């Protein structure tokens, strides 16, 4: 049964006004990722990519952090804020990269290469973070890889597309975990080529979680914030955007005179919408603030171990 059925909401309420009121009452901050629905983005106190959201979570002095994103992001906020209440609108908002890298299999993989340095993408569970030497996001991964001494072997998990792109950028060989994002894998090269033929002036921009043929075709590759900033500074008038559709809201807001086309999935589906990110809704945000749940909790020993590689990342960012 869904959260909103189990926890009824008075239908006469103005949900947006209630969220604003409850945020103040609870001294809560609403952090949101760019892949959230536009009405959630518009209510957020802070919007950003994974790195900026982790940095915002580290800085906040609010009593309550409500994280409109996916579970691993809220978990990172809790790792950085053991004494604050960290809420998620929907506990089921997972990530295919995190679920494709279970702790036991990751631990066994690491154990095979005891001298290697383990750099792990932030899209993983707290348990996998605790087994890693460094965490990275798509906006600081290159810097972190370059900071590892040349003579050290690197294990990179869980996104193989980001890993391969980093190998090409840095010239470093790495052992890659074979994980991927179900959203970024969905873009159709065939349809992208057709779109480019119909819109020859449009620039293709892509997130590094996309597959290699899409990245080869892209004119710019970067994290969600880097993609947004590129469309603001660049002088093209039209862009094909190969990442989750949520980012188009901020692109269009920042550049109302430009045209943004969502990268097309292969099937006739909305597979370029992240099904986990899109589990969140204004109703669930309201309920989380009203009831102060669901909360992210974890054993203190795990939290302490998972914090070490996150702090290393933040120090390098
Ligand atoms: P960034 O916002 O850090 O680019 O991450 C993209 C992503 O897939 C988050 O799940
Ligand atoms: Fe995970 Fe992909 Fe969704 Fe990001 S877009 S949360 S990487 S499944």
Q: Which CATH superfamily is domain 189-262 in?
A: NadA-like (3.40.50.10800)
The pLDDT, as a whole number, for residue 7 is 85
Please give the class, per CATH, of domain 15-93+277-297: alpha beta
Contact 95/132 with Cβ under 8 angstroms?
Answer: no
> What residues form DSSP beta bridges with 220?
205
d(CA 101, CA 72): 12
Instruction: Write the residue with the smallest CA distance to atom 6 of ligand 2.
Output: 95
Which atom of ligand 2 has the smallest separation from the CA of 35?
5
> What residues form DSSP beta bridges with 271?
none
Which atom of ligand 1 has the smallest separation from the CA of 97?
10
Instruction: Write the residue with the smallest CA distance to atom 1 of ligand 2.
Output: 95
Closest CA to 264 of 189, 206, 160, 207: 189
**Interval between CA 208 and ligand 1 midpoint (Å):** 9
Q: What would the pLDDT profile of 199-235 be if each residue is shown by its tens digit?
A: 999 999 999 999 999 999 999 999 999 999 999 999 9
Within 6 Å (CB) of ligand 2, which residues are found? Answer: 70, 95-97, 123, 181-184, 209, 244, 274, 276-277
Return the SS3 of 86: strand
The pLDDT, as a whole number, for residue 268 is 86
Q: Any idea what DSSP says for residue 31?
A: E
For CATH 3.40.50.10800, the residue range(s) in the chain are 15-93+277-297, 97-181+307-316, 189-262
Return the SS3 of 6: helix
Instruction: Determine the CATH number of domain 97-181+307-316.
Output: 3.40.50.10800
Contact 121/101 with Cβ under 8 angstroms?
Answer: no
**Interval between CA 95 and ligand 1 midpoint (Å):** 11
Q: Is ligand 1 within 6 A of the CB of residue 49?
A: yes
Contact 37/244 with Cβ under 8 angstroms?
Answer: no
d(CA 149, CA 116): 11
Q: What would the pLDDT profile of 1-50 be if each residue is shown by its tens digit?
A: 455 557 888 999 999 999 999 999 999 999 999 999 999 999 999 999 99
Ligand showing the shortest atom-to-Cα distance for residue 138: 1
pLDDT < 50 positions in the chain: 1
The pLDDT, as a whole number, for residue 150 is 96
Q: Is ligand 1 within 6 A of the CB of residue 96?
A: no
A 10 A CB-CB count for 269 gives 9
Contact 106/176 with Cβ under 8 angstroms?
Answer: no
The pLDDT, as a whole number, for residue 4 is 54
């Amino acid at each position: 049964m869904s959260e909103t059925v189990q926890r009824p909401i008075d239908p006469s309420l103005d949900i947006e006004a209630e969220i604003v009121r409850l945020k103040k009452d609870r001294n809560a901050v609403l952090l949101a990722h760019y892949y959230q629905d536009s009405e959630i983005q518009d209510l957020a106190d802070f919007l950003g990519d994974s790195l900026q959201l982790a940095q915002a979570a580290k800085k906040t002095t609010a009593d309550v952090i409500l994280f409109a994103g996916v579970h691993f992001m809220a978990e990172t906020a809790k790792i950085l804020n053991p004494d604050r209440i960290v809420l998620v609108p929907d506990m089921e908002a997972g990530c295919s990269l995190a679920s494709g890298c279970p702790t036991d299999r990751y631990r066994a993989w690491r154990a095979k290469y005891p001298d290697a340095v383990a750099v792990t993408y932030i899209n993983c569970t707290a348990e996998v973070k605790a087994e890693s030497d460094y965490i990275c996001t798509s906006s600081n991964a290159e810097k972190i890889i370059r900071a590892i001494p040349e003579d050290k072997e690197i294990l990179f998990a869980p996104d193989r597309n980001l890993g391969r792109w980093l190998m090409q950028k840095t010239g470093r060989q790495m052992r890659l975990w074979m994980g991927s994002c179900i959203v970024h894998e969905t873009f159709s090269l065939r349809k992208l080529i057709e779109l480019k033929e119909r819109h020859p002036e449009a620039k293709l921009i892509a997130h590094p979680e996309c597959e290699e043929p899409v990245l080869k075709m892209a004119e710019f590759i970067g994290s969600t914030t880097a993609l947004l900033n590129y469309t603001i500074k660049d002088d093209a008038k039209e862009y094909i955007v190969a990442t989750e559709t949520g980012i188009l809201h901020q692109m269009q807001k920042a550049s109302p005179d430009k045209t943004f086309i969502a990268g097309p999935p292969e099937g006739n589906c909305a597979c370029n919408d992240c099904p986990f990110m899109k589990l969140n809704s204004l109703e669930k945000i309201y309920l989380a603030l009203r009831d102060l749940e669901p909360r992210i909790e974890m054993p203190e020993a795990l939290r302490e171990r998972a914090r070490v590689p996150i702090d290393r990342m933040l120090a390098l960012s």
